[in-house]
Amino acid sequence: MPKIDTRTANRLFKALDGFKIELPSWGFADTGTRFGKFFQDAAASTIDEKLHDAGLVHKLTGSCPNVAVHVLWDFTEGEDPRMTRRLARKHGVRIGSINPNVFQDLHYKLGSFCSPDAKARKAALDHTRDSIAIGSAVGSKVLTMWLADGTNYPGQDNLRRRKRDLQQAFRKIHQAMDKSWPGSMLLIEYKPFEPAFYHTDIADWGMSRAFCDHAGPRAKVLVDTGHHLQGSNIEHIVSFLLDEGMLGGFHFNDRKYADDDLMLGSIDPYAAFRIFDQIAQFEFDTGRKPRIEYMIDQSHNLKPKLEAMVQTVDDAQRLFAKAQLVDRKKLATAQRRGDINAAEQCLRSAYETDVRDALAQWRRKHKLPADPVGALRDSGVIARLGRERAAGRRARGEVQSASYA
């Protein structure tokens, strides 16, 4: 198995210093499936508990200073959002991306910005403008837009009208960000299906790119690693968007069938490695480090929330580190010569390198536990939080019961 020499280790440590991953607030709360919700005693119920858990993950991994928030789930109407900013600081983290919610309320039944109902379209735009104000107040720099808009039956709506209304909405959102939120970036996500099963209004990266072009220069494409059809070559999409200057960020997760929300690398770690490889290749080719928002967006239905999140960050750090080990000069030589096997082996050799010792050294250098998952398990904090939070919910009269479709 390939070894890591001192010079390579130092280069790797520098790359890891700059690798930051945003945690999702909702990843610490109880989640489920469309058939039911599954409860864990230690799951977070309040924004204070979510930020506490995110702060703990950051302390264990050293790579997660930002926390993504969902506006309807994490902010109380009428409350100064700067209170949430101060709460995050108390737990050693910052507020990261702002996620408007334009899919949950009943008036979005036929869509949000694409709805045939002008009142629904206005409600979506008003809520997004409110989200922009929150983002500015809490010091965030990213607005992330995922829409559930689409149709379930042929002829249900005018597809061209929906496209044009969405173009107009993104243009207005971009203008609002230009006016009141300096330095911010609009990330537009895509998804081929679900919950809409006939057509989805932003079905792939090309449509997302087109909407970004209509919106303005702050808009970039957000790649969710679970939002692709079977067999999609995600690293090719990543490379293409990087070259176009249109890759804004990632929502990391994994999938076996569709948008399964499984943990990063749990199904196909080589696929995640290949994504990191293309980013490293771009940096090698251009000498530039692009602004990329690395974010986790996955649902831990069965694993303990905290443990699953720490494991995800650990896996992301390993796969990122492996991609830094590719011998780019050797790879370029093999590619020029048309030596297919030698070129492939450059990737395979890096992927098969055991980086655990190097990661442990980097962590000790930053006074972090060498094994963050083991440290969390040994601490007993999940059991303690479970007792405390279950008692708190009982005291507040909150009843947990699964509901099934």
- Tell me the HSE value of 19 on the side-chain side, using a 13 A CA sphere: 24
For 88, which DSSP code? H
Considering the domain boundaries, does residue 249 fall inside one?
A: yes
Considering the domain boundaries, does residue 43 fall inside one?
A: yes
Residue 199's pLDDT is what?
98
| CATH number (domain holding residue 251) | 3.20.20.150
Residue 77's pLDDT is what?
82
How far is residue 271's CA from residue 362's CA, in Å, rounded to a whole number?
24
How far is residue 308's CA from residue 396's CA, in Å, rounded to a whole number?
27
DSSP 261-324: -BPTTSS-HHHHHHHHHHHHHHHHHHS-----EEEE----SSS-HHHHHHHHHHHHHHHHHHHH
How far is residue 138's CA from residue 181's CA, in Å, rounded to a whole number?
11
Considering the domain boundaries, does residue 248 fall inside one?
A: yes
Considering the domain boundaries, does residue 2 fall inside one?
A: no
| Largest CA-CA distance found in the chain, in angstroms, rounded | 70
Count of domains for the chain: 1
Considering the domain boundaries, does residue 390 fall inside one?
A: yes
Considering the domain boundaries, does residue 1 fall inside one?
A: no
Domain residues for the domain of 83 are 10-395
Residue 401's pLDDT is what?
54
Residue 2's pLDDT is what?
67
Considering the domain boundaries, does residue 132 fall inside one?
A: yes
Averaged pLDDT in 10-residue chunks for the chain of 405 residues: 83 97 96 79 96 98 98 89 96 98 96 98 98 97 98 98 98 98 97 96 98 98 97 98 98 93 95 98 97 92 92 98 98 98 98 97 98 98 96 86 45
How far is residue 93's CA from residue 46's CA, in Å, rounded to a whole number?
16
Residue 163, both tokens: 């496209």
